[in-house]
Amino acid sequence: MNEWEKNRRMAESYRQSYPPGTRLELIGMDDPFAPIPAGMRGTVNYVDDQSQIHVKWDNGSGLALIPDTDSFRRLSAKEIEAENAAKGSVVSRLTASKTQPGKEREEGRRQAKPNKKKEDMQL
Protein backbone atom coordinates (compact mmCIF):
# COMPACT_ATOMS: atom_id res chain seq x y z
CA MET A 1 0.00 0.00 0.00
CA ASN A 2 1.41 3.39 -0.98
CA GLU A 3 1.47 6.47 1.26
CA TRP A 4 -1.49 8.12 -0.49
CA GLU A 5 -3.68 5.05 0.03
CA LYS A 6 -2.62 4.82 3.66
CA ASN A 7 -3.58 8.50 4.27
CA ARG A 8 -6.89 8.04 2.45
CA ARG A 9 -7.82 5.03 4.57
CA MET A 10 -6.79 6.76 7.78
CA ALA A 11 -8.86 9.86 6.95
CA GLU A 12 -11.86 7.68 6.12
CA SER A 13 -11.48 5.84 9.43
CA TYR A 14 -11.47 9.15 11.34
CA ARG A 15 -14.51 10.35 9.36
CA GLN A 16 -16.38 7.23 10.47
CA SER A 17 -15.26 7.62 14.10
CA TYR A 18 -15.81 11.38 14.35
CA PRO A 19 -18.70 12.45 12.08
CA PRO A 20 -19.80 16.11 12.05
CA GLY A 21 -21.58 17.02 15.27
CA THR A 22 -19.51 14.72 17.50
CA ARG A 23 -18.66 16.39 20.81
CA LEU A 24 -15.03 16.16 21.98
CA GLU A 25 -13.00 17.30 24.97
CA LEU A 26 -9.35 18.28 24.66
CA ILE A 27 -6.99 16.56 27.08
CA GLY A 28 -3.82 18.15 25.73
CA MET A 29 -2.41 19.71 22.61
CA ASP A 30 1.24 19.38 21.63
CA ASP A 31 1.51 22.96 20.43
CA PRO A 32 3.20 25.69 22.51
CA PHE A 33 1.17 28.33 20.67
CA ALA A 34 -2.18 26.52 21.04
CA PRO A 35 -4.95 28.82 22.21
CA ILE A 36 -7.06 25.82 23.25
CA PRO A 37 -6.74 24.98 26.98
CA ALA A 38 -7.03 21.43 28.26
CA GLY A 39 -10.62 20.61 29.20
CA MET A 40 -12.09 22.74 26.40
CA ARG A 41 -14.96 21.10 24.57
CA GLY A 42 -15.94 21.43 20.95
CA THR A 43 -17.96 20.04 18.06
CA VAL A 44 -16.49 18.26 15.03
CA ASN A 45 -17.06 20.08 11.73
CA TYR A 46 -15.25 17.67 9.41
CA VAL A 47 -12.16 15.51 8.91
CA ASP A 48 -9.85 16.62 6.08
CA ASP A 49 -7.77 14.46 3.70
CA GLN A 50 -4.75 14.72 6.03
CA SER A 51 -6.78 13.16 8.88
CA GLN A 52 -6.97 16.41 10.83
CA ILE A 53 -10.20 16.73 12.80
CA HIS A 54 -11.55 20.24 12.39
CA VAL A 55 -13.38 21.34 15.52
CA LYS A 56 -15.45 24.40 16.41
CA TRP A 57 -14.33 24.89 20.02
CA ASP A 58 -16.68 26.32 22.62
CA ASN A 59 -14.30 29.27 23.10
CA GLY A 60 -14.85 30.27 19.46
CA SER A 61 -11.61 28.88 18.03
CA GLY A 62 -11.57 26.67 14.95
CA LEU A 63 -8.24 24.90 15.45
CA ALA A 64 -7.95 21.34 14.10
CA LEU A 65 -6.83 18.31 16.09
CA ILE A 66 -4.03 16.06 14.86
CA PRO A 67 -5.04 12.59 16.13
CA ASP A 68 -1.54 11.11 16.51
CA THR A 69 -0.22 14.25 18.24
CA ASP A 70 -3.05 15.75 20.31
CA SER A 71 -4.92 14.04 23.15
CA PHE A 72 -8.70 14.21 23.20
CA ARG A 73 -11.75 12.12 23.96
CA ARG A 74 -15.31 11.78 22.77
CA LEU A 75 -17.98 12.93 25.22
CA SER A 76 -20.37 10.25 26.44
CA ALA A 77 -24.10 10.47 25.80
CA LYS A 78 -24.59 11.23 29.50
CA GLU A 79 -22.14 14.16 29.35
CA ILE A 80 -23.87 15.54 26.26
CA GLU A 81 -27.26 15.30 27.99
CA ALA A 82 -25.85 17.18 31.00
CA GLU A 83 -24.48 19.91 28.69
CA ASN A 84 -27.83 20.26 26.93
CA ALA A 85 -29.70 20.39 30.25
CA ALA A 86 -27.34 23.10 31.52
CA LYS A 87 -27.80 25.13 28.32
CA GLY A 88 -31.57 24.72 28.57
CA SER A 89 -31.67 25.98 32.15
CA VAL A 90 -29.60 29.05 31.25
CA VAL A 91 -31.87 29.85 28.31
CA SER A 92 -35.02 29.45 30.42
CA ARG A 93 -33.58 31.73 33.15
CA LEU A 94 -32.70 34.39 30.57
CA THR A 95 -36.13 34.15 28.98
CA ALA A 96 -37.90 34.40 32.34
CA SER A 97 -35.91 37.49 33.39
CA LYS A 98 -36.81 39.57 30.33
CA THR A 99 -39.56 42.16 30.53
CA GLN A 100 -42.08 42.86 27.83
CA PRO A 101 -40.16 43.89 24.69
CA GLY A 102 -42.66 46.62 23.71
CA LYS A 103 -42.36 48.28 27.08
CA GLU A 104 -38.52 48.30 26.90
CA ARG A 105 -38.63 50.02 23.52
CA GLU A 106 -41.14 52.57 24.80
CA GLU A 107 -39.00 53.39 27.85
CA GLY A 108 -35.92 53.60 25.64
CA ARG A 109 -37.61 56.18 23.45
CA ARG A 110 -38.45 58.37 26.44
CA GLN A 111 -34.87 58.33 27.65
CA ALA A 112 -33.31 59.01 24.27
CA LYS A 113 -31.92 62.48 23.78
CA PRO A 114 -32.43 64.22 20.44
CA ASN A 115 -29.39 64.46 18.20
CA LYS A 116 -28.11 67.99 17.83
CA LYS A 117 -27.48 69.18 14.32
CA LYS A 118 -24.17 70.81 13.56
CA GLU A 119 -25.78 74.18 12.84
CA ASP A 120 -27.67 74.07 16.18
CA MET A 121 -24.46 73.73 18.18
CA GLN A 122 -22.78 76.94 19.38
CA LEU A 123 -19.03 77.20 19.82
Would you kindly state where each structural domain of the chain is located, as residue ranges? 3-97
Burial of 44 (0-12, 13-18, 19+ CB in 10 A): buried
3-97 maps to which CATH number? Answer: 2.30.30.30
**Global pTM exceeds 0.75:** no
| pLDDT (tens digit per residue) in 29-48 | 878 787 799 999 999 999 99
State mean pLDDT over 93-98: 59
Q: Please tell me the predicted confidence (pLDDT) of residue 70.
A: 93
